[in-house]
Chain A
Amino acid sequence: MDPLLEISQKLQSDYFRRMQLLFILDLISVFCIVYAITLIFQMEYFLNKSSLDARIPINIIPPILSFIIAVIAAFLRHKNDHKIKFNLLIESKYPELKEKVRTAYDNISESNVIVDSLKNSVLSGLTIVSASTLLATSVVVTKIIIVMFFVSGVTVISSQPEKYTIPVETIEDNIIKITGGNGNETSEAVGSPEDFGQAGGFETKPKIATIEGKNIDLTIFPGYEQGVELVKESQIQNPFIKSPEFPVDIMGSNVSDGGYSSLLKKTETEKQLINKFAVERSKI
């Protein structure tokens, strides 16, 4: 194998080994963060409360969920790692090798005085390149420290949950506050008994709704001699006004009373008789 390719492959494998380590560290970090959140917010309690399939033990859902989120996050964070152009990475870290490395690689199969001299200079230049320069050891060490911090944090939280978790009542109260689900808004909107007026109508505080950027008052105001009129019982003189009598000569409407289905069950003779009756009846 060409010595240039050999040294490059060695560097590349060292570099990607470090990238794999970073992937694992990121995965652990995200897992710790998400799992800590599930512990603090007592996810297990809420899962118990909800009607989940009883076959799955509730206590394993938070860690599994955290792990899945961690895998997705770490994958997204490192999805472009394999797309890194290694030669360009080397050139960016070592300006003295700028444009030389890729030229040497693109002409690896060529051989003449100039190409050979370029390959030699790149080869000697690559001897000073190390994976630790391409991916700084300080970055790896920092990530390890962060992971250790997160792991110890999760350990502390899970060992003393009563000290670090938020009480269920507080969470529920906050949820109600956030969602606004206290059930009192209807009576407020209608108005208290004091709001009822003297002039036959009722007055409420205006209930404003914003629809398509316009403020619309949703209060229903009574019209003249219409709507609800609140009066005291003693003041009622004619509690019932007799409606006009129903004229006897008016036929019923076409509203079905189930007669058609019962008609279908009749014999042919009965049907003819009914038909005849109806015709005669219509002449009255």
Chain B
Amino acid sequence: MSNETYTSSNRIFKELFDEIGKVIVGQREAVEQILIAIMCNSHALVESNPGLAKTLTISTVSKALDLKFSRIQCTPDLMPSDITGTYIIEDVGGKKQFRFEPGPVFSNIVLADEINRASPKTQSAMLEAMQEKQVTVGNKTYTLDKPFFVLATQNPIEMEGTYPLPEAQLDRFLLKILMDYPTEQEENEIVNRYTKNIIPAVNKVISKNEVLELQKLTRDVPIAEDIKSRAVNIVIATRAKSEHIEYGASPRASIGIILAAKARALMSGRNYVSAEDIDAMAYPVLRHRVILTFESERKGLTTDQVISHILKTVK
């Protein structure tokens, strides 16, 4: 099965991009990074301004992958049970008994929209589900369905009344994906597509089992020792005393870069990890794990600029 999936992986990814491209105009890099996070069996955080089709993108991906999708709009009054689910009393044959009603977290793909608006308690419940891939309600533990992928979004503006995710929680997201405004040409295309009566439809490209197969294959992609060392050295360099970085990334970032690079290689149809994969994945893996100094922020430096500098210096 693995062999078949591997030989057809090139075709699968090409068809996936084509199918998603029917609905999403541009944002190729963001779509690629979402798929990479799914292939790595991890989660992603998306930061973008409103109206950039975050929800549409992730729902399209779930349709193309034939996965169950649910969306949670995070608000300050959202309770953990609203996410995980709760016991409800129902009448069965004249008897009252508790029945567990699963929450939206019991899906394959969960969009936690504006996660920073949820209270820390709810955020913790969500992040626990992400990490453990299981939910404990009352005394009972429920295992989440596989694959399980959370795409949390943050709005960089309107920070009032929000609960920014602590660094330790941010570390649980494999990637931080930035979605930017489309180009003029892309925006014209968006307008053309969405001002007509025909709404583009997405077809299923692969099954849930194939997604799981691809997740296994991702970890099988070989990597050379010197390229692996480069990934580790990049992460270590973020921890070195620097005028730009207050706190560096954890070893989880090293794992993240290598895993994401493997997924990228697989998606590019390569049977080995290239140094180019490491460099490309260093940005989304590190940008939410590296905390800049006040001085750097005052100067208007971005995390990506600091990562660029590190990539240039690390051999």
Which bracket fits the contact residues of B? Answer: 10 to 19
B141 lies within 8 A of chain A by Cβ: no
A152 lies within 8 A of chain B by Cβ: no
In the complex, the chain A residue whose C-beta lies closest to that of B1 is A113
In the complex, the chain A residue whose C-beta lies closest to that of B9 is A114
Which bracket fits the contact residues of A? Answer: 10 to 19
A104 to B273, CA, bound (A): 11
A100 to B221, CA, bound (A): 12
Most buried by B among A104, A106, A114, A118: A114
Question: In whole Å, how far is B29's beta carbon from the nearest beta carbon of chain A?
Answer: 22
B41-65, CB under 8 A of A: which get 1 and which 0? 0000000000000000000000000
Cβ of A112 and Cβ of B225 under 8 Å apart?
Answer: no
Cβ of A100 and Cβ of B272 under 8 Å apart?
Answer: yes
Cβ of B6 and Cβ of A114 under 8 Å apart?
Answer: yes
In the complex, the chain A residue whose C-beta lies closest to that of B3 is A113
Question: In whole Å, how far is A280's beta carbon from the nearest beta carbon of chain B?
Answer: 91
CB neighbours of A117 from chain B (8 A): 6, 271
A115 lies within 8 A of chain B by Cβ: yes
A117 to B274, CA, bound (A): 16
CB neighbours of B266 from chain A (8 A): 114
A192 lies within 8 A of chain B by Cβ: no
Cβ of A103 and Cβ of B224 under 8 Å apart?
Answer: yes
CB neighbours of A115 from chain B (8 A): 220, 222, 271
Question: In whole Å, how far is B229's beta carbon from the nearest beta carbon of chain A?
Answer: 11
Cβ of A114 and Cβ of B274 under 8 Å apart?
Answer: no
Cβ of A114 and Cβ of B221 under 8 Å apart?
Answer: yes
B227 lies within 8 A of chain A by Cβ: yes
B residues near A (Cβ < 8 Å) are 2-3, 6, 217, 220-227, 266, 271-275
Top 3 closest pairs, chain A to chain B, by CB? A107-B222, A103-B272, A103-B224
10 A-B interface contacts by CB (under 8 A)? A102-B225, A103-B222, A103-B223, A107-B223, A112-B2, A113-B3, A113-B6, A113-B220, A114-B266, A117-B6
